[in-house]
Amino acid sequence: MRRCFFSFVAASVALLYLTVSAPTALAQSNGIYADFTTSMGSFTCKLEYAIAPRTVANFIGLATGQRPWLDLKTGGTRTTPFYDGITFHRVVTNFVIQAGSPNGNGTDGPGYVFRDEIKPALRFTNPFMLAMANSGTNSNGSQFFVTVSPQPSLNDGYTIFGEVVGGTNVVKSINSVAVDLFSNKPLTNVVIQSIGIRREGTAALAFDINTNGLPLVTNLALKIASISNQYALSFTNKLFVNNLLFDSDNLKDWYIEDLGTEISAPFTNRIFKLSEPVSHYYSAAQIQYAGSTYAPRYVTNRTCALKFSFNNATLTIKFDALGTGTYTYPPTGPGKVTTYAWLQEPYRGRLWPIYYGGNSNALFPMQLTLNFNTATSGWFEGTAYGPTPSHVDGTFTIN
């Protein structure tokens, strides 16, 4: 549910004031309001900046262009209104309308992620709640959704940061459009033309979007040197920075390479590319996080202990430098890790996939997401691919 619901793995200060027609022009109490103008009409959301300040700051920054965000097509840092021209790419009747993906497919965002702000004061008990879409814990970016009915099953999985206070008829109309039955994408685009931010009252005017620990996006200077049959790309690195390299041979189509997030010294500050007959162009960007995101760049030569919640048994894995390793698991005995792939993401890492062998009772292949609470521990969830795929979860330590 969560995975298909939402986004991936994006940041914005002149306030936009928008003249809107009823119902969004109604007199309203103190607060911060987002006036959505779409190709099907207008609606207004009140933003809960006192309860979810980081999420509201991010939304305002993107909507107004007050904080920079990353154009994933070109690698350029931009400070234009992010949502202008973006479509509602997912509409599920009597459930939600979802937007915030520049490519219109729900697979991208602003180039960064930030932590959840799930609070008991905001629940999906009522319809028309405004919340962040995600692809798992602490993976918020730019995609959001509005519910059109009570959805208590979504509680504790998604950050609510507002609710519709005007124009619910427009939200219902968007939710009623014809969609592709496979993707839930509207057959005719419903476009966000603009989002205006209004602040009413002293507290709302004083709310600062730059003091909530959001990631900061900047472009990165590269130095290029030729070494034998390679090019060395050098750059200045920092702690808690995610580096992205953009590579093109035509200045039109860009390939993105995630160079990882630095969580400890020493830093990587040079990468090598083979010389090719075709010219290549490079640019780079840095996403500066406010503090450690904990997930390591590699698990080479580390030991991970996974305690499953369904039987309290512990699977202990020792990773080697060859992309393999060994494991012990009391219910089946010891065995080998025949191959694994570790993907570092901000706030989490993924074993996608990990394969086991070495004895007749070898474990089934798994895809696991490790959500870090500290540098050495957290909780995990994923799928074991036996005859019937099954959900697994629990806690872990890694050293």
Minimum mean pLDDT range among 28-32, 163-167, 323-327:
28-32
Tens-digit pLDDT profile for residues 158-201: 999 999 999 999 999 999 999 999 999 999 999 999 999 999 99
Residue 140, token pair as written in the block: 């918020």
The pLDDT score that the predictor gives to residue 373 is 94
Query: Which neighbouring-strand residues pair with 91?
Result: 97
The pLDDT score that the predictor gives to residue 12 is 30
The pLDDT score that the predictor gives to residue 348 is 96
Distance CA 144, CA 99 (A): 6
Which among 283, 289, 274, 355 has a CA at the least distance from the CA of 319?
Answer: 355
Q: What's the whole-number mean pLDDT along residues 22-36?
A: 73
Contact 233, 221 (CB under 8 A): no
Q: What's the whole-number mean pLDDT along residues 145-156?
A: 98
- SS3 track for the chain: CHHHHCCCCCCCCCCCCCCCCCCCCCCCCCEEEEEEEECCEEEEEEECCCCCHHHHHHHHHHHHCCCCEECCCCCCEECCCCCCCCEEEEEECCCEEEECCCCCCCCCCCCCCECCCCCCCCCCCCCCEEEECCCCCCCECCCEEEECCCCHHHCCCCCEEEEEEECHHHHHHHHCCCECCCCCCECCCCEEEEEEEEEECHHHHHCCCCCCCCCEEEEECCEEEEECCEEEEECCCCCCEEEEEEEECCCCCCEEEEEEECCCCCCCCEEEEECCCCCCEEEEEEEECCCCCCCCCCCCCCEEEEEECCCCCEEEEEECCCCCEEEECCCCCCEEEEEEEEEEECCEEEEEEEEEECCCCCCCCEEEEEEECCCCEEEEEEEECCCCCEEEEEEEEEC
Q: What angle do CA 210, 211, 217 make, to 5 degrees?
A: 45
Between 292 and 313, residue with greater pLDDT:
313
Tens-digit pLDDT profile for residues 79-94: 999 999 999 999 999 9
End-to-end CA distance of the chain: 32
Distance CA 22, CA 382 (A): 46
Q: Tokens 């512990």 map to which residue?
A: 314
Q: What's the whole-number mean pLDDT along residues 120-125?
A: 98
Q: Does residue 397 surpass a pLDDT of 90?
A: yes
Average pLDDT, the chain: 92
Tens-digit pLDDT profile for residues 241-271: 999 999 999 999 999 999 999 898 888 899 9
The pLDDT score that the predictor gives to residue 268 is 87
Q: Does residue 23 surpass a pLDDT of 50?
A: no
Q: Does residue 233 surpass a pLDDT of 90?
A: yes
Q: Does residue 213 surpass a pLDDT of 70?
A: yes
Residue 322: partners with Cβ closer than 8 Å, 6 or more residues away? none
Which among 9, 68, 75 has a CA at the least distance from the CA of 284?
Answer: 75
The pLDDT score that the predictor gives to residue 27 is 52
Q: What's the whole-number mean pLDDT along residues 34-42?
A: 98
Of 181-185, 272-276, 358-362, the range with the highest mean pLDDT is: 181-185
Residue 214, token pair as written in the block: 């959001």
Distance CA 111, CA 215 (A): 10
Distances (CA, A) of 79 to 65, 82, 193, 245, 286: 5, 8, 17, 20, 15
Phi and psi at residue 154, in whole multiples of 5°?
A: -85, -10
Distance CA 266, CA 281 (A): 27
Q: Does residue 21 surpass a pLDDT of 80?
A: no
The pLDDT score that the predictor gives to residue 380 is 98
Q: Torsion-angle region of residue 378: left (phi > 0), alpha (psi -120 to 50) or beta? A: left
Contact 341, 353 (CB under 8 A): yes
> What pTM, to 2 d.p., does this model score?
0.89
Q: Does residue 43 surpass a pLDDT of 50?
A: yes
Amino acid at 191: V
